[in-house]
Structure 1
Amino acid sequence: MDYNLNILEKEGYIRRHREVSRGIELLAQSPVLGRWCQVPIIGQIAAGEPIPVPTPDTWDIAASSETLEVTEDLIRGRDGVYALKVKGSSMVDALINDGDIVLMQYVNAVENGEMAAVWLKAEKEATLKKVYSEPSRIRLQPANSQMQPMYVEPGNVEIQGRVIAVIRQLV
C-alpha cells in the first residue's frame, strides 16, 4: 500500500500528512480533478420480468431531471451515454443487483453475449439481459441460474444500448 501511495505522491496526485492517521490530500492540480460529467438517469430497466417504460422515441435525455456525476474516464469519450436504475435480480451473477445503476451507451446492435437494454416492441416493455442471436430467434439470457432465458422474434427486439459500467448501491 505504501508503495502505491508513494507513487501517487511522487506523480503529484496526492499529498501525504504522515503525522495524521489516513492523512491523504487530493491535490488541486491533479489531472483527475475537474474531469467530471453529468449523465442523465432516464428511468428504470427491468432485470427480471420486463417492465413497461416510455417508448424509446419519447426518452428525452436532455430534459432528464435526475443526473449522475461520473468521472470522464468512466465514459472514455463515448457519445450517447445515459443511466438506468436496475429493478430486479436477473443479472445478479453478472454482479448487477436491484437498485444498482447501469451506465449505457446508446447503440442499436450488440455482439453475442453483450449486456444490453432491450426494448420488446409488441409488449412495450424493456429488460436488461445478455443478448444472443440464434438462427430464427433472439435469446435474452439472464445472468441468474434461477431464471430461464426469454426467446423472442428478431422483429420484436430493439437494442437500446449496451452496458458500459455498473455503479453499485451499497445501502
Structure 2
Amino acid sequence: MLTKKQLDLLAFIHKRVQRDGVPPSFDEMKLALDLRSKSGIHRLITALEERGFIRRLAHRARAIEVVKLPDSLSGKSGFAPRVIDGDRPDMPPPSAAREVTTAAAIELPVMGRIAAGVPIEAISEVSHSVAVPSGMVAGKGQHYALEVKGDSMIDAGINDGDVVVIRETSVADDGDIVVALVEDAEATLKRFRRQGTSIALEAANPAYETRVLPASHVKVQGRLVGLIRTY
C-alpha cells in the first residue's frame, strides 16, 4: 500500500510523461508535492522503486520507467510502461532496441533545428524526415519534428542532438514545453509561463536565465508531445 505522498508522486510522474513525453524534474516534483527539499523526493522515489512501481535506469540521468500503477490510477483501460531516456548510456543498446517497424511508425518532417539554449533563427524548411511511433502523434493537429541544439532543457530530459516531436498549436498552458517564436525572428524550445501581461520562457538548466518578454513578442508555434534519442 502506498502513502498519499507516494501515490501523489507516482500519479504526477505518470501524468507528465503521458502529457509531455518527458519526465518532470526533481524541482517540479518538489513543487507539485509542496515539499521543502529534494531529499524528500529522493526518499519517495526510493520507496516507489522498492515497492516495484518504478524503476530507475542505470547510467541515465533521471531516467524513470513506470512499471505499474495501483488500481486507483490505472483504471480498467490497462497500462503499458513508457521509458523516457534522460541521458545517453555508456554503451549503445542492441540494434533490435532501435528498430521501428513500418506498421507501428509514421514519417514526420524534420524542420531543421530548434535552440535549447540561445535562440536561433526561425525554422521553416524541411531538412529530412524521421520515423516515429504512431502513438506519439495520436490526437488532433499536425505534427513535425525538430533537432535540438543546446543544453538548456537537460533537466527536463532533453539533450543536445535529441529530436523532439511537436504538435502544431498557437496556445499553451503554464508549464508546457513549447516552440516559441520570439519577435518573429528566432525560435526556441522552452517552458511556457504567463506573468501578467508578459510571457516567461524558462530553461531547464540553472546556467540559463529565464527570458521575460511582452506577450505580443512571443508566438507559440507548437507543444512538445514526444522525444526521440538516437544512439
SS in structure 2 of the partner of residue 155 of structure 1? helix
User: Any stretches of 5+ residues in structure 2 without a counterpart?
Assistant: 1-95
Instruction: Considering fraction of residues, name the structure with more helix.
Output: 2
Structure 2 contact 179–221 (Cα < 8 Å) conserved: yes
- Counterpart of 2:103 (choices 34, 42, 64) is 34
Moved more, 134-143 or 65-74: 65-74
Name the amino acid aligned to 2:166: M
* Closer, same or farther: CA 89–76 of 1 in aligned 2, 3 Å: same
Q: How far is 1:168 from its partner?
A: 1.6
The answer to whether structure 1 residue 138 and structure 2 residue 207 are counterparts is no
User: Any stretches of 5+ residues in structure 1 without a counterpart?
Assistant: 1-24, 26-31
Instruction: Considering fraction of residues, name the structure with more strand.
Output: 1
Q: How far is 1:78 from its partner?
A: 3.8
Q: How far is 1:111 from its partner?
A: 0.3
Q: How far is 1:53 from its partner?
A: 2.4
- Taking the TM superposition and a 5 Å limit, the aligned residue runs for 1:1-171 are 34-54=103-123, 59=124, 64=126, 66-121=128-183, 124-170=185-231
* Closer, same or farther: CA 147–107 of 1 in aligned 2, 3 Å: same
What's the % identity of the aligned pairs? 33
SS in structure 1 of the partner of residue 103 of structure 2? coil
Name the amino acid aligned to 2:150: G
Aligned equivalents of 1:131, 1:113: Cα separation in 2: 5
RMSD between aligned alpha carbons?
A: 1.8
Aligned equivalents of 1:53, 1:93: Cα separation in 2: 24
Name the amino acid aligned to 1:120: V
